[in-house]
């Protein structure tokens, strides 16, 4: 329980920093707990003092400055929460989407030491030349280097990504504090339980664990390369596995035009409208066809080579969708595009996303309210933030539990739609998506697709049948143990009971202390109630 005090102090510090930057972290429209109302009054004097320093700064800049000053784990937290508009509200999610993952680079001395520890031997044993960092983010930084082919002697430029020193320890400490905060929210604010705050932190932990093992990023690149081997308009960098480890990743250096530099793209003779359409459909193919997609396809991670091929980089955040989820998404998308709102509603019930005590017809009405306004309008006229806000509002109205993998996909679609729209402002993402959705539906929900999945199901059934004897044996052992407890009871001697009572009393004292400190932390964080 002593850890609760430390976590509360860390959260209090974070609350003070957020307050100093005038950041509101409580979604508008959600009922505010009494403690935050009280804290607003208590922190009013500091608001007056800090207001001149915040004056004139846009809201998203204040959020970026606050999270950057708190350190790398808070930058990642902000980027992750940008995908969770259902938790923090669409306005704050939109502001966080502007958060740039940029930090000061660590020194060349530290970079060389990290390389030598990870790859063994001197830097010169692996690279002909090793330059200064060209990009630095919260978890890692990238250097440009050269390697030499041992046979031909030819030199080749590569990108070398290196984890920050001690980054794992820093993230572990902050994640423990996030877990503490999420547990308190679930305990004292029942309306938030539907949003599963602890599960949100679980997802953040899984994401950062994957990002901090660069072998897994290399494996993601390799898997996407296999998935897209037949795609003529998309590719990924080649991985240099000999110079890759948990803390170092070596890749082909991409010498191409960034998607953000439209004038250079035009000068190179590229059709911007065709590129926008290609980026959007590429992403949808990865999500629907492969069930494996790049979840951070912003402009800084996309390049275009001389022949118009799109090249993606930075595979730290990836999304996966099972066949069931892809079926759900394809039919939803197809239903919205074709205005078959009842079918779009029915598959929510089939997938178990909407509890059965609700009416399909009523939910279809809600789907119509979302789908009708998008028809006949260009992406420029459609506010994706408003659209997502409606979707999240209906999830609460119909008692739908949060689906993190679908929310990550929705967030990624918003990013990709923004990139595509920057190249073609008149692009209608729904019309562009229709052929991809229709093709997936025909291939997977038609007769051939159903036969294929039936065959896969038969193979699974065969494995289960083969495993039945072992399962029965384990089940019988469990039943015997339960039967023994039922007959004989579970016995504790007096000494054990006395020790348990002491521990309970001690834990109760620490719990009360932690709650008081937690309340103080909430007071400090209550600047989130202040106007921006």
Same domain, 279 and 242: no
Same domain, 309 and 178: no
Number of domains in the chain: 2
CATH assignment at residue 123: 3.30.200.20
End position of a domain, from candidates 253, 272, 291? 253
145 or 498: which leads in pLDDT:
145
Model pLDDT, residue 354: 84
Q: Which of 391, 400, 330 is nearest to 366 (CA)?
A: 391
What is the C-alpha separation between 241 and 248, in angstroms, rounded?
Answer: 10
> What are the b/e assignments for 4-38, b being 16+ CB within 10 Å?
beebbebbbebbebbbbbbbbbbbeeeebbebbee
Same domain, 238 and 296: no
Whether 138 maps to a domain, the answer reads yes
Question: Who's near 105: CB < 8 A, 6+ residues apart?
Answer: 132, 133, 136, 141
Contact 39, 523 (CB under 8 A): yes
Whether 34 maps to a domain, the answer reads no
Model pLDDT, residue 83: 66
When pLDDT is cut at 50, 70 and 90, the band that residue 482 belongs to is very low
Model pLDDT, residue 475: 43
Question: Who's near 455: CB < 8 A, 6+ residues apart?
Answer: none
195 or 224: which leads in pLDDT:
224
Model pLDDT, residue 531: 38
Model pLDDT, residue 245: 96
Model pLDDT, residue 65: 78
47 or 517: which leads in pLDDT:
47
What is the C-alpha separation between 495 and 481, in angstroms, rounded?
Answer: 25
Same domain, 233 and 347: no
Region of poorest pLDDT, from 89-93, 391-395, 505-509: 505-509
Whether 465 maps to a domain, the answer reads no
Same domain, 278 and 426: yes
Same domain, 244 and 280: no
Whether 160 maps to a domain, the answer reads yes
Same domain, 236 and 327: no
What SS3 state is found at 319?
Answer: strand
End position of a domain, from candidates 428, 445, 462? 445
Write the pLDDT tens digit of every residue in 373-422. Answer: 767 665 556 655 456 556 666 766 787 766 667 777 777 887 888 888 88
Whether 89 maps to a domain, the answer reads no
Instruction: Please name the residue ranges forming H helices in 351-403.
Output: 360-371, 384-397
**With 80 as the cut, is the pLDDT of residue 493 above it?**
no
Same domain, 355 and 386: yes
**With 50 as the cut, is the pLDDT of residue 111 above it?**
yes
Whether 164 maps to a domain, the answer reads yes
Model pLDDT, residue 42: 56
Write the pLDDT tens digit of every residue in 470-481. Answer: 444 544 443 443
Question: Domain range holding 354?
Answer: 256-445
The arithmetic mean of pLDDT across residues 440-466, rounded, is: 55
Whether 25 maps to a domain, the answer reads no
Model pLDDT, residue 524: 43
The segment with the largest mean pLDDT, out of 194-203, 223-232, 434-443, is: 223-232
End position of a domain, from candidates 415, 445, 475? 445
Sign of CA dihedral 288, 294, 296, 298: negative
Same domain, 379 and 291: yes
Model pLDDT, residue 20: 67
350 or 9: which leads in pLDDT:
350
Same domain, 228 and 127: yes
Model pLDDT, residue 532: 42
Sign of CA dihedral 320, 324, 329, 330: positive
**With 80 as the cut, is the pLDDT of residue 300 above it?**
yes
233 is catalytic: no
Contact 214, 202 (CB under 8 A): no
The encoded tokens of residue 376 equal 């006949």
**CA-angle at 419, arms to 345 and 94, nearest 5°:** 65
Whether 192 maps to a domain, the answer reads yes
345 or 272: which leads in pLDDT:
272
* DSSP E strands, 302-453: 302-304, 310-312, 318-320
Model pLDDT, residue 353: 77
| Catalytic pick among 101, 233, 240, 296 | 296
Same domain, 306 and 193: no
Task: Calculate the average pLDDT of the chain.
Answer: 75
Model pLDDT, residue 78: 80
Write the pLDDT tens digit of every residue in 143-188. Answer: 999 999 888 889 999 999 999 999 988 888 888 888 888 888 778 7
Same domain, 248 and 263: no
Model pLDDT, residue 483: 46
84-to-195, 355, 406, 411 alpha-carbon distances in Å: 10, 22, 10, 8
């Amino acid at each position: 329980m002593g850890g609760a005090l430390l976590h509360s102090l860390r959260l209090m510090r974070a609350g003070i920093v957020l307050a100093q930057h005038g950041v509101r972290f409580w979604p508008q429209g959600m009922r505010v707990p009494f403690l935050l109302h009280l804290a607003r009054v208590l922190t009013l004097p500091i608001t007056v003092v800090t207001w001149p320093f915040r004056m004139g700064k846009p809201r998203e800049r204040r959020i970026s400055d606050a999270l950057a000053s708190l350190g790398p784990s808070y930058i990642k937290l902000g980027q992750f929460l940008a995908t969770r508009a259902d938790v923090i509200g669409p306005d704050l999610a939109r502001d966080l989407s502007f958060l740039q993952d940029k930090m000061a680079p660590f020194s060349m001395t530290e970079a060389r030491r990290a390389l030598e520890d990870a790859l063994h031997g001197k830097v010169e044993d692996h690279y002909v030349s090793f330059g200064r960092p060209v990009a630095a983010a919260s978890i890692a930084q990238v250097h440009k280097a050269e390697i030499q082919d041992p046979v031909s002697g030819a030199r080749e430029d590569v990108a070398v990504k290196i984890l920050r020193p001690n980054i794992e320890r820093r993230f572990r400490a902050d994640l423990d504090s996030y877990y503490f905060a999420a547990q308190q929210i679930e305990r004292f604010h029942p309306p938030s339980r539907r949003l599963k705050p602890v599960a949100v932190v679980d997802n953040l932990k899984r994401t950062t664990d994957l990002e901090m093992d660069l072998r897994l990023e290399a494996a993601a690149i390799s898997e996407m390369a296999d998935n897209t081997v037949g795609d003529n308009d998309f590719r990924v960098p080649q991985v240099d596995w000999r110079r890759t480890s948990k803390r170092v990743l070596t890749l082909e250096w991409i010498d191409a035009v960034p998607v953000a530099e439209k004038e250079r793209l035009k000068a190179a003779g590229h059709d911007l409208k065709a590129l926008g359409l290609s980026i959007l459909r590429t992403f949808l193919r990865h999500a629907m066809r492969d069930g494996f997609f790049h979840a951070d396809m912003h402009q800084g991670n996309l390049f275009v080579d001389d022949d118009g091929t799109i090249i993606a980089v930075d595979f730290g955040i990836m999304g996966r969708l099972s066949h069931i989820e892809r079926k759900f998404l394809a039919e939803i998308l197809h239903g919205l595009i074709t205005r078959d709102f009842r079918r779009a509603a029915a598959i929510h019930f089939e997938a178990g996303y909407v509890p059965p005590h609700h009416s399909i017809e009523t939910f279809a009405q809600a789907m119509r309210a979302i789908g009708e306004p998008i028809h006949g309008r260009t992406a420029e006229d459609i506010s994706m933030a408003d659209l997502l806000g409606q979707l999240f509002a209906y999830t609460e109205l119909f008692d739908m539990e949060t689906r993190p993998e679908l929310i990550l996909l929705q967030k990624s679609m918003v990013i990709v739609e923004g990139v595509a729209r920057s190249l073609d402002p008149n692009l209608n993402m729904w019309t562009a998506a229709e052929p991809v959705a229709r093709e997936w539906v025909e291939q997977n929900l038609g007769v051939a697709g159903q036969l294929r999945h039936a065959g896969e199901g038969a193979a699974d059934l065969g494995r289960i049948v083969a495993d039945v004897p072992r399962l029965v044996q384990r089940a019988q052992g469990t039943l015997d143990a339960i039967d023994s407890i039922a007959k004989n009871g579970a016995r504790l001697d007096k000494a054990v009971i006395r020790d348990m009572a002491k521990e309970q009393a001690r834990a109760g004292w620490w719990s009360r202390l932690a709650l008081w400190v937690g309340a103080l932390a909430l007071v400090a964080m209550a600047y989130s109630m202040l106007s921006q």
